[in-house]
Chain A
Amino acid sequence: MATLIIILILVLFLGAILTGGYNKRFLERMQQSDLWSWITTVDHKRIGILYLISGGFFFAVAGLEALLIRIQLMVPNNAFIVGDTYNQLTTMHGTTMLFLVALPILFALMNFIVPLQIGARDVAFPFLNSLGYWLYVSGGLLLNLSWIFGGAPDAGWTNYATLALNDYSPGPGVNYYVLGLQISGIGTLISAINFITTIVNMRAPGMSYLRLPLFTWTTFVTSAIIMFAFPPLTAGLFMMMFDRIFGATFFSTAGGGNVTVWEHIFWIFGHPEVYLLILPAFGVFSEVIPTFSKKRLFGYHSMVFAVVLIGFLGFMVWLHHMFTVGLGPVANSIFAISTMAIAVPTGIKIFNWLFTMWGGRIRFTTAMLYAAGFIVTFVMGGVTGVMLATVPADLQFHDTYFVVAHFHYVIIGGTVMGMLAGFYYWWPKMFGRVLNEKLGKWSFWFFYLGIHLAFFPQHFLGLNGMPRRVFTFEANKGFETGNMVSTIGTFLMTIGVLILLYNVVWTLRKGKQADADPWDGRTLEWAVSSPPPVYNFAQTPRVRGLDAWWLEKVHGDGKLKPAEPLGLIHMPSPSHLPFIMAVGFFISGFGFVFHSWQVGALGLVVVFIMMYVRSFQEDHGYHLQPDELKGQGVDS
């Protein structure tokens, strides 16, 4: 408690000193600073960029963890990082990558692009958008602070009881996992509700559901999955929190609890989680491939149908993570069939992409390279997924490096390559400059070669008997070559990422200025300037068909048809409440991690005060004059 107050005062002092001394105008100066404007922003484009920055930061952290893991496994009987520390690394690598990197970077793209694609000026709830972002950051920071204060969680990203309970993980590590994920999970849920409302309510006139760009469709389905998948996680984390902090026995067999219940709850969340990671990537590819093939998406309707079906089936397959629990042949068979069934809609998508390219004119920009590289990589990961659904065979595959190979193939080959394709594709829109293509291609080839070198041999490591989550392996059992190749692959991937980073820095300084439509795009975001003005569209556009912008370019006069006259634009006001609420949650979480009721309650009090303030605050936003109106005698 005392520490917290001291830190708070120190921060205030530092703030005052760095901004020119504390006097009456201190607050005023702070409110005009750039930092303040980013903290209080409710602009979906700026929040998108914030997601990108924090996602990138956590990507660096989790990537470093992966490197350390692979260095330990480079040679047999290595003693670089062993035992508990190694378990902390694997746990944090998985948890960070899934919760703090993959989804947030996808959120970055969704936040920036979806309102533009549907012809909206912002998301439905700009305040909640900001709150969702800050909760994610505070949860993520809380989780990662575990490295410094008390040790990271070490029970795997799946956090199975009873290993995760106090008896077998006595430190604060798992508390960080529980509270960090709880807080960032609230943020994720809020953002999902926001996306759904936005897509349902804020589409421009004429933008019917079956004219939505595929990326918006996948965002829609992903958000729906989050709505149904995160509540079980929230409930499970609460039970875990009560077991660990308040002495409940939901999962403790000594107190009559049941360990299998945690596995069910976790995977009822956990399997939809992986689909909600892959669907937005599918969305990105469904934008990138048509654009660079100069063709409309092949089988748009079946693509939409497949996305919805995958989202739906994703909830009916969780038991395939638990074939070895021994739940009986009937349960195992049913879930084997439902798992295999998902291959059908996924196959439809793959062939539709191939036939979008068929007959087109394919430009291999970096974004398209990622999309093209994705197809084969993802199919290789997808087919091992079907193999894993084959119950008797899965009894051999389960919890071995075969599984590690499988999910890295789909998550890196799918989600990460989707993220990177989207990154190169939309970067000009987001920052007004085009990323360097030459560097981009170098980065792609290093990364792509790295993926296959790192993960292809792992299939065989698993089949040869190497379990996952082991910090060492014996010599002369046939594991040496595979592990060495795998580590080399990881280094190649690292080089790829470093080139990408250099590319970003280079582009921000010297990159080519992007015009509004650098790729000859098809959807509405390419109709506005790069980067778009704060209000996106001076006039809400009228949408006349699928690929609305392409339609206007090819069949119209190359300009969007307005759906309203030019006029003042209503904008939401920035707010500092979300940030302070997130700070409150952070303090509360930190308190509970160390069993401190007082600090935990104090943080929640801050949250409740902010909610109170927000509830009674009259904020009607403000009106803005678009550039097009300036100089015409209209005042705001």
Chain B
Amino acid sequence: MKRRLPAWWLLTIPGLLAGCVSRNNMSALDPQGPVGKSQLNLIYLSTGIMTFVVIVVAAIYIYVVLRYRERPGDEKKGIPEQVAGSKKLEILWTAIPVLLLIILAVPTISTTFTLDKKPDPEESIRVNVIGYQYWWGFEYPDHKVSTSNEVHIPVGKKVDFVMKSHDVIHAFWVPSLGGKQDLNPGRQDRIVLQADKPGVYEGKCAELCGASHALMNFRVIAHKPDDFDRWIASQRKPDSTPKTVQAREGRRLFNQNCIGCHAVRGGGFKVEGRTGPELTAFSERTRIAGILPNNEKNLKDWLRNPQGFKPGNRMPAFDHLTEKQLDALSVYLESLK
């Protein structure tokens, strides 16, 4: 009881830790599109008001704690005055928070309604999103093109993501473009996002969806409009024909082992599996299964032991294939354009 505990120095903690903010391509604090920007404005506004509140409370608090703590000899002074309350003060600290909340509520509501506007179909592009445990399917209904885990969009244009879930609730989240939207099984949900600059934006599943929820990543790749049109054109006529002997062997193995779940458009297969990610133009993907850099070594590792990389996913291990067969299969996959 002799030494006083300095309560004020705790306030330095926030300052020390504020240095944790850093720049990456998946930060809500570094938005690359109008939706993310309007959301960031509200984040700043609410943070501003709330920091003010914390500072006011902390100031009174520090004053009270320092000024009114018991000092030796205080016992003789008798009992402090027993104050019942003060109407004026109580009205004051009811009214001021109400005012602050109104300042916050008005832009909140107006932005909520603005963000919910459906885009004009003429000025937007529609992308269907289907969530699976633990990967993403994307379809471009206007262009009859589909892909998985990496969605390409044009810059400067509203993208109308229309979503469905195949199994459990997932959530579609690209922090640098804007907030998230759940994919509810049995419902159709939508979110409208737009990218202002070409680039790669990381996306994640944000609703617990099972063992590999943490690894259900995807990428949004924004192109200039011309580049985007070229990408769509290449997707409509994918180059899926094997050119070497080894690749032809790979295609045969693919037909034996993979085609039940995975589709390769234009590959001349009789079936197009839809329970696993589509693999058309696989060589152009930046990552395997949304998590590994796309190269032949990683691809073979993945084929041998998918559960080791993404626990609980539905793909069985293909460790019964020989090294040569795995080589052929990966050469074939890496030849798909």
Contacts and interface: CB of A to CB of B under 8 A. Distances in A.
B208 A156 contact: yes
A622 interface: no
B173 A467 contact: yes
A296 B84 contact: yes
A358 B64 contact: yes
B306 interface: no
Contact of A168 (B1, B186, B189, B210): B210
A300 interface: yes
Given A156-B208, A395-B39, A467-B205, A360 B68 contact: yes
Nearest to A452: B13
Interface string B52-88: 0110011011001100111000100101111111100
Contacts, number: 316
Interface in A327-371: 328-329, 332-333, 336-337, 340-341, 343-344, 347-348, 350-352, 354-355, 357-364, 369
B116 interface: yes
Contacts of B29: 463-464
A399 B65 contact: no
Interface stretch (A55-63, A280-288, A477-485): A477-485
B147 to A, nearest CB: 22
B311 A84 contact: yes
Contact of A162 (B7, B108, B185): B185
B84 A300 contact: yes
A396 B175 contact: yes
Nearest to A438: B1
Contacts of A348: 90, 93-94
B83 A359 contact: yes
Given A359-B83, A398-B206, A83 B108 contact: no
B113 A333 contact: yes
A392 interface: yes
Given A376-B58, A395-B39, A333 B185 contact: no
B23 interface: yes
User: For the side of the interface on B, what is the size category?
Assistant: 35 or more
Residue in B40, B179, B312 with the greatest tally of chain A CB atoms within 10 Å: B179
A477 B201 CA distance: 12
Contacts of B214: 86, 467, 469-473
A400 B27 CA distance: 12
Contact of B79 (A294, A340, A355): A294
Contacts of B47: 387
B168 interface: yes
Interface stretch (A125-133, A453-461, A491-499): A453-461
A469 B208 contact: yes
Contact of A470 (B57, B74, B175, B213): B213
Nearest to B204: A467
Contacts of B115: 329, 392, 395
A367 B69 CA distance: 15
A383 interface: yes
B104 A390 contact: yes
B28 to A, nearest CB: 4
A92 to B, nearest CB: 14
A359 B112 contact: no
Interface of A is mostly: helix
Point out which of A328, A351, A375, A389 has the most chain B C-beta atoms below 10 A from its C-beta: A351
Interface stretch (A20-28, A252-260, A423-431, A608-616): A252-260
B42 interface: yes
A295 B61 contact: no
Contacts of B179: 324, 392-396, 398
A4 interface: no
A294 B80 CA distance: 7
Contacts of A389: 108
Interface bin, chain A: 35 or more
Interface stretch (B14-22, B222-230, B249-257): B14-22
B50 interface: yes
Contacts of B77: 361
Interface in B268-291: none
A574 to B, nearest CB: 42
Given A87-B208, A348-B93, A464-B22, A361 B10 contact: no
A332 B4 CA distance: 48
A464 B24 contact: yes
Interface of A: 82-84, 86-87, 154-156, 160, 162-163, 167-168, 253, 257-260, 293-296, 298-302, 324-326, 328-329, 332-333, 336-337, 340-341, 343-344, 347-348, 350-352, 354-355, 357-364, 369, 372-373, 375-376, 379-380, 383-384, 386-387, 389-396, 398-400, 437, 441, 445, 448-449, 452-453, 456-457, 460-461, 463-465, 467, 469-473, 476-478, 481-482, 485, 554
Given A393-B42, A473-B214, 13 more contacts: A84-B311, A162-B169, A293-B68, A302-B90, A324-B180, A351-B90, A364-B69, A376-B54, A380-B54, A398-B180, A449-B10, A456-B17, A476-B24
By Cβ-Cβ distance, the 6 closest A-B pairs, closest first, are A395-B179, A83-B311, A478-B22, A470-B214, A465-B26, A383-B50
14 contacts: A293-B68, A324-B171, A333-B112, A350-B57, A359-B68, A359-B80, A364-B70, A369-B5, A384-B50, A387-B50, A390-B42, A393-B39, A464-B22, A472-B215
